[in-house]
Amino acid sequence: MSAVTLDTGPTVARLSARSGVRTARTVALKVVTAVLVLIAAASVTFFAQLLIPGDRATTILNLKTGRAQTYSPSELAPVKAKFGFDHPVLVQYLHYVGGLFKGNLGTSYTQYRPVTQVIGSEIVPSLVLTLLALVVAWVLALTVTLLTVKRGRVATALGSGWESLTASLPPYWIGVVLLVVFSVELRIFPVIGGDGVSGTVLPVLTLAIPLAGFLGQVTRDEFEKVLDQPFITTARTRGMGDTAVRLRHALRHSVIPAITLSGWALGALLSGAVIAENIFGRPGIGQVLVTAVNTRDVPTVSGIVLVVAAVYVVANLLVDLTYRLVDPRLGARS
């Protein structure tokens, strides 16, 4: 409707200015909420570290020596000083939360380096894997749904059957199956692939296939509902063909639920990535995390959990904004 700019009139200008301010305020509020959620998440991981049974400095020394024994205060003192245990808990807490804003996630119990360094470059391949999986999942889901939804009984049954099947597959199992079929039997991809192209395809599929099934189910359900809506009938009475009705009217409505789920999906994908990386020997936080859990390096585990939480929060913020673009009603109502 670009040509209707001849005379926007005062009402339009007033309306759009008001809604602009409103949008800005909503976005600001969302950002503040997101930051608060992160601080709360950090508090959880901080207090989780306090829950470690026994004295933490002793635990750290035990981890180093591989023995379980008690130490003299003089042996413990340097450890306590290095990890800041000599301060009151409240000070430690403020230091931990404050450190977040400076990109400081504490110190590893086993490696004696900042957690940010331990995670460091490992997070990048994991994020690449996750984002690729999200994109592939969307493409797969939309293709299957658009081709099969309300296209006769056979196509519908095939499509929804495929979706429920794939949506139920745990990533560890589908990963192993893909590995056995494509790497062990067919030898198309290397068994341990690294983070190059050949090492990325199978992990991405491992994560994308179940997610595609899930997004597909959500979208199909909505699509079926939308196709029964009166406005779809209206479009048909104007002389619109079936394909056009699906693409121009129904699609936009039916992706809304799947979009709102994508923020959550990104968080779930990152934890799925831990498993996929583990199966395919792909570098990323998965390897670091499993090692850290095994060695009971709580600060590193906490750090990774916090990073994932941050990704989740940011992703949901983006989803919220995208959602407003697809569905302007939300902005108008709030």
Task: Compute how many other C-beta atoms are within 10 angstroms of the C-beta atom of residue 198.
Answer: 13
Instruction: Show the tokens assigned to 305.
Output: 């959990």
Closest CA to 307 of 105, 155, 130: 105
Task: Compute how many other C-beta atoms are within 10 angstroms of the C-beta atom of residue 157.
Answer: 11
Tell me the torsion sign for CA atoms 56, 57, 61, 67: negative
Closest distance to another protein from the beta carbon of 285 (Å): 10
Maximum Cα–Cα distance across the chain: 87
Q: Closer to another protein at the Cβ: 44 or 135?
A: 44
Q: Closer to another protein at the Cβ: 102 or 238?
A: 238
Q: Closer to another protein at the Cβ: 200 or 278?
A: 278
Q: Closer to another protein at the Cβ: 82 or 225?
A: 225
Closest distance to another protein from the beta carbon of 72 (Å): 26
Q: Closer to another protein at the Cβ: 70 or 229?
A: 229
Radius of gyration of the chain (CA): 25
Q: Closer to another protein at the Cβ: 74 or 186?
A: 186
Closest distance to another protein from the beta carbon of 287 (Å): 11
Closest CA to 268 of 208, 319, 321, 179: 208
Closest distance to another protein from the beta carbon of 122 (Å): 15
Closest distance to another protein from the beta carbon of 328 (Å): 6
Give the whole-angstrom CA distance, residue 12 versus residue 16: 6
3-class secondary structure for 206-217? HHHHHHHHHHHH
Closest distance to another protein from the beta carbon of 293 (Å): 5
Closest distance to another protein from the beta carbon of 330 (Å): 11
Q: Left, alpha or beta for 284 (phi > 0: left; psi -120 to 50: alpha)?
A: left
The distance of Cα 179 from the centroid of its chain, to the nearest Å, equals: 24
Q: Closer to another protein at the Cβ: 50 or 81?
A: 50
